[in-house]
């Protein structure tokens, strides 16, 4: 019997990774689609008058096993993929896309949903039920339920095409990342590189039976080389390779895929009655319209650009004085920024890393969650994992009740895409009086331990871990009835609030003292280093803000206008980035062809949400700081009004219930040092 077709009868009902074979996925998903269709047929054939319970609630709880299996499959495709899984993904994605259309274009089902929706003022529904009803109705109306039959078929074809194109985009980026290696045999070429990075590069070379050192495009290899390597030509080589992903005119080129994706998204939006893809997406965001997003980004640009230009000039002057560099290039950015930061603040990431042993930072995040939200994390070994590097935890509250199962996957490998993300293997929900607790995971790409050193994090990696852990808390502390409104199932320009607000604790003395201890001596991080971390937190903030704005504007340029006449990806990108440009363009490079957030992930027309949520998180943390960063009253208000509520209430309402007021943008500008 296919293990995926049964409920998982094991400790905590977790995914039985060790028993799953790749060949199980396609038949299981195909079978579970048919089972779910039968569940939907039961709803549509019900002779009783449509009610919230027999239609909306019944629909919400259909396909539970299908959801679990597809969550497992696509999470593995991101974190532990191989050729076989990628091939299955290309078969499975169109099936799921078609099935999604089968639901939203099911006239009998929509008729029942619409009957309940049209009668909602006469129903005694609570706030969460009203939100689910609205979301259910919109999932039909926004996805073609009101279209004529011929247009429904067009929509099906577009959705099938888009699901395959996004998959191919991600596969190409991963293939390009894995294909590049910079093999170094002369140790002088590693001048400036910290010993830990050199040791990791040597260990990687040894693992591939090569002499010398290997540098790759994986972040733990790429970032240290770009930050510390004195050899400018090799930095250039590496930077160009990184920027060329998907832009090679080879079998992994993403240019045609991008043009196809944006044109199909536009066609889909038009078909559904929207001006652009961004208009379609933003209708269900806090921002509501492309104009609001573009105005928001341009207002930030106006504040940040003078500071960014001033910072860039200082960096240029510094590089010229230090090394006679006449023109600062993109491959000089990390290197000279680090040198200037060391000079201005006497702060070197390499001096900090011994205080940020991965295990200690992880325990620090757990301790902070304990102080704020009463959570306890116990590492357990009685549940399956998909790779030996994965750590598994049982999370409980002060009463000893199970809150969540938590997976942590920290190191890069060939089958894992770059970056960091939070995901879920099982959503939280309440059914038949039972509160089903979630299974949450964070996935990162940190430097692996070497023969002589544990995994030591840069400060940027510390904030990355806290960021993803903030998302995880949003998933773990979910306490809603319906899975579709649970945890991170919120507007995408609100979803970054719990993650970004967690980063703030990394800068606070009280929090750092809990976990920042030297991995050899046990010494707590010296307070002068803490002071320097805080002092340097706004270093080059104008340039960093400009960079984030540029990504948001690039996203909107692809999705906020008619792309029908777009023929050249690079030309369109240059036009979009014109007002945010600091460094000279690199002809061989293109950002868009590996911009996975918007072409593979769910951030199309939503990349602005990082900056949008920064306004919320800066304002929220000012509230925490005013009361004390571990103040239980403020923490409880944040847990009760934000972390546990998911998408059951409008996000601005939730925020005001927590904060007592709308967010003040000045808080972000103050934190960034852009206003006093």
pLDDT in tens, 612-629: 999 999 999 999 999 999
Kindly tell me if the per-residue pLDDT of 676 is higher than 80: no
pLDDT for res 4: 94
Q: Radius of gyration of the chain from Cα atoms?
A: 25
Could you write out the three-class secondary structure of 356-422? Answer: CEHHHHHHHHHHHHHHHHCCEEEECCCCCCCCCCCEEEEEECCCCCEEEEEEEECCCCCCCCCCCEE
Sign of the CA dihedral with 524 first, then 536, 459, and 377 last:
positive
Full set of structural domains in the chain with CATH:
3-104+106-142 (1.20.1050.40), 180-243 (no CATH), 255-349+543-601 (1.10.1370.10), 354-539 (1.10.1370.40)
The yes-or-no answer on residue 187 being catalytic is no
Cα–chain center distance at 362: 19
**pLDDT band (50, 70, 90) for residue 393:** very high
Please say whether the beta carbons of 442 and 420 come within 8 A: yes
To 10 degrees, what angle do helices 64-79 and 22-44 make?
150
Kindly tell me if the per-residue pLDDT of 1 is higher than 90: no
pLDDT tens figures, 85-138: 999 999 999 999 999 999 999 999 999 999 999 999 999 999 999 999 999 999
Please say whether the beta carbons of 196 and 202 come within 8 A: no
Q: Residue 662 and residue 653: Cα distance in Å, rounded?
A: 9
Structure tokens given for 367: 């301790």
In terms of Cβ atoms closer than 10 Å to its own Cβ (0-12, 13-18, 19+), residue 505 is buried
Q: Residue 519 and residue 455: Cα distance in Å, rounded?
A: 10
Give the dihedral of Cα atoms 126, 127, 128, 134; nearest 10 deg: 110
Q: 3-state DSSP call for residue 214?
A: strand
pLDDT tens figures, 494-528: 999 999 999 999 999 999 999 999 999 999 999 89
Please say whether the beta carbons of 405 and 396 come within 8 A: no
Helix (H) or strand (E) holding 302: helix 290-323
Question: Which residue matches tokens 């060391």?
Answer: 342
pLDDT for res 205: 97
Q: Residue 150 and residue 137: Cα distance in Å, rounded?
A: 22
pLDDT for res 666: 87
In terms of Cβ atoms closer than 10 Å to its own Cβ (0-12, 13-18, 19+), residue 566 is middle
**pLDDT band (50, 70, 90) for residue 341:** very high
Kindly tell me if the per-residue pLDDT of 476 is higher than 90: yes
Q: Residue 353 and residue 455: Cα distance in Å, rounded?
A: 9
39: CB partners within 8 A, 6+ apart: 58, 62, 63
Kindly tell me if the per-residue pLDDT of 674 is higher than 80: no
The mean pLDDT of 411-423, rounded to a whole number, is 94
Q: Residue 513 and residue 190: Cα distance in Å, rounded?
A: 34
Q: 3-state DSSP call for residue 213?
A: strand
Q: Residue 406 and residue 256: Cα distance in Å, rounded?
A: 39
Angle CA 229–233–235, to nearest 5: 45
In terms of Cβ atoms closer than 10 Å to its own Cβ (0-12, 13-18, 19+), residue 539 is middle
Q: Please choose, from the candidates 422, 443, 417, the residue with its C-alpha nearest in 3D space to the C-alpha of residue 171.
A: 417
pLDDT for res 188: 97
Structure tokens given for 57: 């609630």
Structure tokens given for 438: 């979630």
Q: Residue 68 and residue 477: Cα distance in Å, rounded?
A: 19
Kindly tell me if the per-residue pLDDT of 675 is higher than 90: no
The mean pLDDT of 460-481, rounded to a whole number, is 98
DSSP category for residue 640: I
Q: 3-state DSSP call for residue 184?
A: strand
Kindly tell me if the per-residue pLDDT of 223 is higher than 80: yes
Kindly tell me if the per-residue pLDDT of 366 is higher than 80: yes
pLDDT tens figures, 9-34: 888 999 999 999 999 999 999 999 99
**pLDDT band (50, 70, 90) for residue 40:** very high
The mean pLDDT of 629-638, rounded to a whole number, is 98
**Other C-beta atoms lying within 10 Å of the C-beta of residue 318:** 18
Structure tokens given for 406: 């938590």
Give the active site residue among 80, 468, 573, 614. 468
pLDDT tens figures, 296-338: 999 999 999 999 999 999 999 999 999 999 999 999 999 999 9
Q: 3-state DSSP call for residue 608?
A: coil
pLDDT for res 670: 87
If you count them, how many residues does the chain have?
676
Helix (H) or strand (E) holding 440: strand 439-443
Q: 3-state DSSP call for residue 216?
A: strand
Q: Residue 342 and residue 336: Cα distance in Å, rounded?
A: 10
Angle CA 19–207–453, to nearest 5: 95
Structure tokens given for 349: 């990431």
Proportion of the chain above pLDDT 90, given as a percent: 94
3-state percent helix, strand, coil for the chain, nearest multiple of 5: 60, 5, 35
pLDDT for res 415: 94
Q: 3-state DSSP call for residue 142?
A: coil
The mean pLDDT of 596-624, rounded to a whole number, is 95
Please say whether the beta carbons of 475 and 424 come within 8 A: yes
**pLDDT band (50, 70, 90) for residue 441:** very high
Q: Residue 143 and residue 152: Cα distance in Å, rounded?
A: 9
């Amino acid at each position: 019997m296919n293990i995926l077709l049964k409920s998982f009868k094991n400790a905590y009902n977790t995914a039985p990774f060790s028993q799953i074979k790749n060949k199980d996925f396609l038949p299981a998903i195909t079978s579970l689609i048919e089972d779910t269709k039968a569940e939907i047929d039961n709803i549509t054939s019900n002779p009783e008058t449509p009610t919230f319970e027999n239609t909306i609630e019944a629909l919400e709880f259909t396909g539970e096993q299908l959801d679990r299996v597809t969550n497992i499959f696509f999470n593995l495709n991101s974190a532990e993929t191989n050729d076989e899984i990628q091939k299955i993904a290309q078969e499975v994605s169109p099936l799921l896309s078609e099935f999604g259309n089968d639901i939203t274009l099911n006239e009998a089902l929509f008729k029942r949903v619409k009957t309940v929706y049209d009668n909602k003022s006469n129903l005694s529904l609570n706030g969460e039920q009203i939100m689910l009803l609205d979301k259910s109705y919109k999932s039909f109306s926004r996805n073609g339920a009101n279209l004529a039959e011929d247009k429904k078929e067009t929509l099906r074809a577009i959705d099938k095409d888009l699901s395959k194109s996004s998959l191919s985009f991600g596969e190409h980026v991963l293939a390009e990342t894995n294909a590049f290696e910079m093999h170094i045999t002369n140790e002088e070429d590693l001048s400036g590189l910290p010993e830990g990075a050199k040791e990791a590069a040597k260990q990687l070379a040894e693992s591939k039976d090569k002499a010398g050192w290997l540098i790759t495009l994986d972040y733990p290899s790429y970032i240290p080389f770009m930050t510390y390597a004195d050899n400018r030509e090799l930095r250039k080589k590496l930077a160009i390779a990184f920027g060329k992903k998907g832009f090679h005119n080879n079998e992994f080129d993403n240019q045609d895929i991008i043009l196809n994706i944006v044109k199909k998204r536009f066609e889909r939006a038009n078909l559904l009655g929207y001006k652009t893809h961004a208009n379609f997406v933003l209708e269900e965001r806090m921002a509501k319209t492309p104009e609001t997003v573009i105005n928001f980004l341009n207002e930030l640009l106006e504040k940040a650009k003078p500071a960014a230009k001033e910072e860039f000039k200082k960096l240029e002057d510094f590089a010229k004085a230090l090394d006679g560099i006449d023109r600062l290039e993109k491959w000089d950015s990390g290197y000279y920024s680090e040198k200037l930061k060391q000079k201005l603040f006497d702060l070197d990431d390499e001096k900090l890393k011994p205080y940020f042993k991965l295990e200690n930072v992880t325990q620090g995040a757990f301790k902070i969650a304990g102080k704020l939200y009463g959570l306890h994390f116990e590492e357990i070994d009685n549940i399956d994992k998909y790779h030996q590097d994965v750590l598994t935890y049982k999370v409980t509250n002060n009463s000893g009740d199970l809150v969540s199962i938590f997976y942590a996957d920290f190191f890069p490998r060939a089958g894992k895409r770059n970056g960091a993300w939070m995901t879920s293997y099982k959503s939280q929900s309440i059914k038949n009086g039972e509160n089903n607790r979630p299974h949450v995971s964070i996935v990162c790409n940190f430097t692996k331990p070497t023969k002589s050193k544990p995994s030591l994090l840069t400060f940027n990696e510390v904030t990355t871990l806290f960021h993803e852990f903030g998302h995880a808390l949003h998933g773990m502390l979910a306490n809603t009835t319906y899975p579709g409104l649970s945890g991170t199932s919120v507007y995408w320009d609100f979803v970054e609030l719990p993650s970004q607000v967690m980063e703030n604790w990394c800068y606070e003395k009280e929090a750092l003292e809990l976990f920042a201890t030297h991995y050899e001596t046990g010494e707590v991080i010296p307070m002068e280093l803490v002071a320097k971390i805080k002092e340097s937190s706004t270093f080059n903030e104008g340039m960093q803000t400009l960079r984030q704005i540029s990504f948001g504007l690039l996203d909107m340029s692809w999705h906020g206008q008619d792309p029908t006449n777009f023929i050249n990806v690079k030309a369109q990108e240059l036009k979009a980035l014109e007002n945010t440009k600091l460094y000279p363009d690199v002809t061989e490079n293109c950002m868009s062809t590996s911009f996975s957030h918007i072409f593979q992930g769910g951030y199309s027309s939503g990349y602005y949400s990082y900056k949008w949520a920064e306004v919320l998180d800066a304002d929220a943390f000012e509230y925490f700081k005013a009361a004390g960063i571990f103040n239980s009253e403020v923490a409880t208000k944040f847990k009760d009004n934000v972390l546990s509520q998911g998408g059951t209430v409008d996000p601005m309402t939730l925020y005001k219930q927590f904060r007592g007021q709308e967010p003040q943008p000045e808080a972000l500008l103050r934190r960034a040092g852009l206003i006093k």
